[in-house]
Amino acid sequence: MNLFPELRKSFIASLWFMFLTFPIMVIRVNTIENIVEWRWMNLVFVGIGSFFLSWLWRYLLSRKEMGVNKKTDDQDRTSLVSRLMKNKQLIIPAAALLAIFTIIFPHIFSTYQTSIMITALIYVMLGLGLNIVVGLAGLLDLGYVAFYAVGAYAYGLLNYHFGLGFWTALPVGAALGALFGILLGFPVLRLRGDYLAIVTLGFGEIIRLILENWNEFSFGPSGIANIPRPSFFGMDLSIQWATVYIYYIVIGICCITIVIVGRLQDSRIGRAWIALREDEIACQAMGIDKARTKLNAFALGATWAGMAGVVFAAKTTFINPASFTIWESIIILCIVVLGGMGSVVGVVSGALVLILLPEYLRAFSEYRLLIFGAILIFMMVFRPGGIVSDVRRVYRFESSAMDDKPQEYS
């Protein structure tokens, strides 16, 4: 990195930033005393801060380019997760500590913290479901929140009209999510890219508008209130213990989701999804039923959204269409992209970061969204593959004196 040209560029950038922020940061009109206050120190702070941040940005970019150039082929084939899995002396104690911390979490933190963690775990389920559609199959779905709404309203309406409980509504919500996933999949079998995103976006908005305007069916904007929380063998729990109980339920569902999604990713259908994502024409030429593969992806991805909707309705005890807007789909998509498309560990990490970070940045008041946005920009620039990127398995034949055996790298 040539130091002088980079410092000159950072100096020019700081001058431009001082010029652009001059009316906001320097001039202030005091309407009480009818005078204009000139805050020149603010301009100095802006100049120094922008100069330092610009230089730091250029320095990190140069380090990133140097790191990319120095990587060897073997380093490219080895992911962070695979390196950790090979070190069993480290992974076993870390997994044990994580399991212990997860179990005792609601007993050492407040009910508010437990409620936030439940929300984060619900988004873990949603992220893993959308990861099937977007991360593995490569189908850009911007209406994923519709399946989330279907599961939530399934529990609310079944309980209101028929008195069904949480455990009965959970598989019903999953089944309805899969059904709506298939209904969405049929019209978009021939669509790809931007056209697929537009159609799925429209599907999500159609579901939300139906729920908002069909008062006789969904109670419109008023929503459904007094949805019961899960009962423990017929016993009604207090709010504190009900929150703890829901926490353990969500932990169990998340563990099951991680296992199933991981097994699906390594199965025959998972390899078909990956082939579909890489090249549809080559995938079809190899004999893979493209329509069936897409429908499987939509149905299985929507199944977890339906289950997450049931859990969400049980947690909040109130639902209305305002909880299922397009921004929810965007947040879930950000979880998949920033966590690492196709990576189970990455999606879990992305959900925890994107949901917990804004909550714990509330101490910064109005600056928390600015800090959150800056963190996302740094992630997209310096970790474009996500927090834990998925690495494709590569098979290489190495001949030996005895026999030839394929060596697997991941």
Say what the pLDDT of residue 397 is. 63
Domain membership of residue 88 (yes or no) is no
Residues 112 and 62 in one domain: no
Is 260 domain-assigned? Answer: yes
Flag whether 331 is in a domain.
yes
Q: At what angle do helices 290-316 and 239-265 cross, to 10 degrees?
A: 170
In this structure, the answer to whether residues 195 and 318 fall within a common structural domain is yes
Give the mean pLDDT of 121-127. 93
Indicate the range of 106-120, 125-139, 283-297, 390-404 predicted with least confidence.
Answer: 390-404
pLDDT (tens digit, 9 = 90+) per residue, 203-219?
A: 999 999 999 998 888 88
pTM here is: 0.81
Residue 403 lies in a domain: no
Q: 193 by DSSP, 3-state: which?
A: helix
Residues 201, 306, single domain; the answer is yes
Total domains present in the chain: 2
Q: Is residue 313 part of a domain?
A: yes
Q: Are residues 161 and 44 in the same domain?
A: no
235-266 pLDDT tens trace: 777 888 889 999 999 999 999 999 998 888 88
Q: Do 121 and 61 have their domain in common?
A: no
| pLDDT tens digits along 131-174 | 999 988 888 888 899 999 999 999 999 999 998 889 999 999 99
Kindly state the tokens that stand for 79.
């992911």
234 domain residue, yes or no: yes
Asked if residue 182 and residue 241 are part of one domain, the reply reads: yes
Structural domain contains residue 97 = no
**Band of the pLDDT at 77, cuts 50, 70, 90?**
very low
Alpha carbon distance 105, 109 (integer Å): 6
Q: Helix 145-162 crosses helix 193-213 at what angle (to 10 degrees)?
A: 20
Residue 246 lies in a domain: yes
Distance of CA 298 to the CA centre of its chain: 17
Whether residue 154 sits in one domain with residue 12: no
Q: Residue 30 belongs to what domain range?
A: 3-66
pLDDT at position 248: 93
- Is the pLDDT at 98 greater than 50? The verdict is yes
Cα dihedral 77, 259, 135, 249 sign: negative
What is the Cα–Cα distance from 273 to 134, expressed in whole angstroms?
10
162 with 300, same domain?
yes
Which of 66, 99, 118 is a domain's end point? 66
Residues 297 and 169 in one domain: yes
Residues 18 and 149 in one domain: no
Q: Copy the structure tokens of residue 284.
A: 């079809």
Of the candidates 178, 105, 119, which has an alpha carbon nearest to the alpha carbon of residue 331?
119
Q: 138 and 14 in one domain? A: no
Rounded to whole angstroms, how far apart are CA atoms 177 and 164? 18
Note whether 44 and 157 are same-domain residues. no
